[in-house]
Amino acid sequence: MLIVPNALVGPALRLIRANRAFVSEAGARRRIRERALRPVPYGPPATLRPDVRVDVERFGDWPVYTVSPTKRAATGGVVYAHGGGWVGEIAPQHWVLAATIAAETGATVTLPIYPLVPYGTAAEARMGMVELVRRSLDRHGPTVLAGDSAGGQIALSAALRLRDDGIVLPMTTLLSPALDLTWSNPRIPLVQPSDPWLATPGGRVFAEHWRGDLDLRDPAVSPLVGELAGLGPITLLSGTRDVLNPDAELLVERARAAGVPLDFHEGVGQFHVWALLPTRSGKAATQTIVRSIARGLR
């Protein structure tokens, strides 16, 4: 398996202009229009690791995939919300992570293809995730929530709603989550020069679409502002070269003040969603995610 040196990641991201949808409002609007006119495929890669099976069904209007282990008894469930800035479709890296989780924990991983901007909204995504967790509990037993980036926002907002409904999850695992869609943390501009991936101008455009009819400070949109007390344990991964890192550090403070167990893995010098990158540190972060989920399913 190809391993990319960490030192090459930043220059490569800048070379391919990975942040072009985020560095300006115009770039974000172009990305929304592109995705509306030319939706990208969302199905699994032609090959995944041989010890998992992929199935698909309809859940209301959503295609929903499950990735299940084939060489060990399936036990427990994971409902995973993929990232992509609320406008980007599930990527091959998400499929690889889901397959790794299924094979190494024995859980059945549910991957919803939720509606994206300009059609999807935070409220719809949260309710869909809540119902998928309920279904996973019925089908697979103990279930955890997980998500990266935009999917982390969806996952944590769904965990808050489930808590309100009397369902406390044994684990919520978040990789580089978006937590406050106001983008108002005063430390974001300090981190911005080191982040080759995300930026505030486009992020605010995507957030305005994603919020739908809700206020940006509604916990369904910005879960960082919600009441955290009563949540189950959280595992949080966040890199210091990520403009979402300042809000991750706030989540650590607020969760601990609310008595919520939180295991924080701060990747010094790491980028946004670095567990999805083909680097040694990315592989190590993937194993942190796997261990977190396995711990929640014990």
Is-catalytic flag, 140? Answer: no
Element (H, E) at 6: helix 6-15
Helices and strands: H and E segment counts in the chain: 9, 8
Structure tokens at 53: 């099976």
From the candidates 68, 149, 176, 222, give the one annotated as an active-site residue.
149
Q: Which two tokens stand for residue 188?
A: 């974001």
Of 94, 272, 281, 292, which residue is the catalytic one?
272
3-state secondary structure of 184: coil
Alpha carbon distances (Å) from 219 to 5, 84, 119, 275: 38, 20, 20, 26
Residues 6+ apart with CB under 8 A from 18: 196, 197
Q: What is the DSSP string of 97-126?
A: HHHHHHHHH-PEEEEE----TTT--HHHHH
For 94, 103, 292, the CA distances from 49, given in Å and listed in that order, are 13, 9, 21
Q: Among this protein's residues, is 272 annotated catalytic?
A: yes
| Active site (annotated) includes residue 176 | no
Q: For residue 203, give the nearest of 228, 190, 222 by alpha carbon.
A: 222
Q: Of the residues 218, 242, 281, 292, which is catalytic?
A: 242
Give Cα 74 to chain centroid, integer Å. Answer: 23
* Residues assigned a catalytic role: 149, 242, 272
